[in-house]
Structure 1
Amino acid sequence: MNLQKLFDMQRKLDEHIEREHPRKPDEDRLAKKILALMVELGELVNEHRGFKYWSHDQEPRRAVYEICEYCEGRKTLGFQQESCWYCGGTGLQVIKRPLLEEFADCLHFLLSIGNDININEVYEDYEPKPLYFGDGDILGQFIAIYDWINSLYFHRHEDVNGEIYDLVFAYFLGLGEMLGFTWEEVEQAYMKKNEENHSRQERGY
């Protein structure tokens, strides 16, 4: 896990956003970032779908597929009918990973909040460890994160040592593991979305 690289990338993105959208007098942008994190977490749990007891479709949205553009769904290539190297012989290719993408969106705001309260400096010498709610209860994990984000909001001016933030981050890391993500996947998804967010600012988003 290379958190310092991600904190630095987030700082540069936030500076870009600040240039395009300067802060208004007396604006509490930290409060807005905390609320944005809650919203993104809601989008993540919506892609997880495990709470939707009213639906027969409660499978997490791990991937969205389309017909492979190389083999055009035939699963093979060439005269030898060898298995398509691009799609692995499935005839399909992944075009989106909604669950992972929403996790990366959450990470953007989590890092941005960390930069605002200077927790990035603490994490130079300390790597947070994942925390888990109960015995692998993923719904409880989501709710625990919401609870700690809520606490972070109400104590945002007092949490000078980042103790509450540290708990949010630790439970968030635990959630990532429970969702089956590797840190390498998360980092790649973050970097891809970070680049897209820079482009959005250039386009006047």
Structure 2
Amino acid sequence: MDLSKLFQLQRQLDERIEREHPRQEGEDRLAKKILALQVELGELANEWRGFKFWSNDQEPRTYVQIGCEECVSGLTYCEECIRNPLLEEFADGLHFLLSIGNDINMNEVYEDYEPKPLYFGDGDILGQFIAIYDWINSLYFHRHEDVNGEIYDLVFAYFLGLGKMLGFTWEQIEKAYMQKNTVNHQRQESGY
């Protein structure tokens, strides 16, 4: 995964959003991005479904056929009509994670090395989600302190570990990020 390229693409999207949605006086946009990351992590957990002890359906949502006009009448689905909601939510989280990294200049740190995935405990996905939430909370409470880079590095590493635990390859993650980045630019064009 080419993190420097992803940070650059995210910076371009963030600059566009800043132009079209300028910061309000006193707005803590970093805090909003941290909350957005938590929301996306929750949406990812919802697609994973493994915590839903009350449901007989705990299988991750990794395959959805939406069907275009041509596919609905046929027996096969084109690549554009097959979605992986779990991977899409992971890519959404990665957008905010990269955006936060740009805000606190961690993009420069990652030019020299790529973070390695970290795993909480014995490789339990549930524990991994909870550990990430915990580190994101810590990032919020220390967002204006010097330690925020160290905390961000842990959030990023645990997030990458979660991606691996969910079965994603670096290539899949990068492709999903690129697709969602295109959608996010289109949303800005349409006044989203």
Q: Calculate the TM-score normalised by the size of structure 1.
A: 0.88
Name the residue aligned to 1:104: 91
Letter paired with 2:71: E
Name the residue aligned to 2:51: 51
Structure of higher CA gyration radius: 1
SS at match of 1:4: helix
Q: Calculate the TM-score normalised by the size of structure 2.
A: 0.94
Q: How has the CA–CA distance of structure 1 residues 93 and 108 changed in structure 2, closer, same or farther, with 3 Å as cutoff?
A: closer
Do 2:135 and 2:151's aligned partners in 1 also have CA atoms closer than 8 Å? yes
- Among 94, 98, 101, which residue is 1:114 paired with? 101
Name the residue aligned to 1:38: 38
Letter paired with 1:121: E
* TM-aligned CA deviation for residue 160 of structure 1: 5.1
Unmatched 5+ stretches in structure 2 = none
- Among 68, 71, 74, which residue is 1:69 paired with? 71
Q: How has the CA–CA distance of structure 1 residues 30 and 178 changed in structure 2, closer, same or farther, with 3 Å as cutoff?
A: same
Verify: 1:17 aligned to 2:17, yes or no.
Answer: yes
Say how many residue pairs are matched: 190
Specify which structure has the higher proportion of strand.
1
- Among 179, 196, 199, which residue is 2:183 paired with? 196
Specify which structure has the higher proportion of helix.
2
Give deviations 1:53-102, integer Å, cap 9, x for gaps.
Answer: 000000000010256829812x6xxxxxxxxxx77xxxx98521100000
Do 2:142 and 2:148's aligned partners in 1 also have CA atoms closer than 8 Å? no
Unmatched 5+ stretches in structure 1 = 76-85
Task: Write the distance in 1 (CA, Å) between the matches of 2:140 and 2:99.
Answer: 14
Name the residue aligned to 2:117: 130
Percent identity, aligned pairs only? Answer: 78
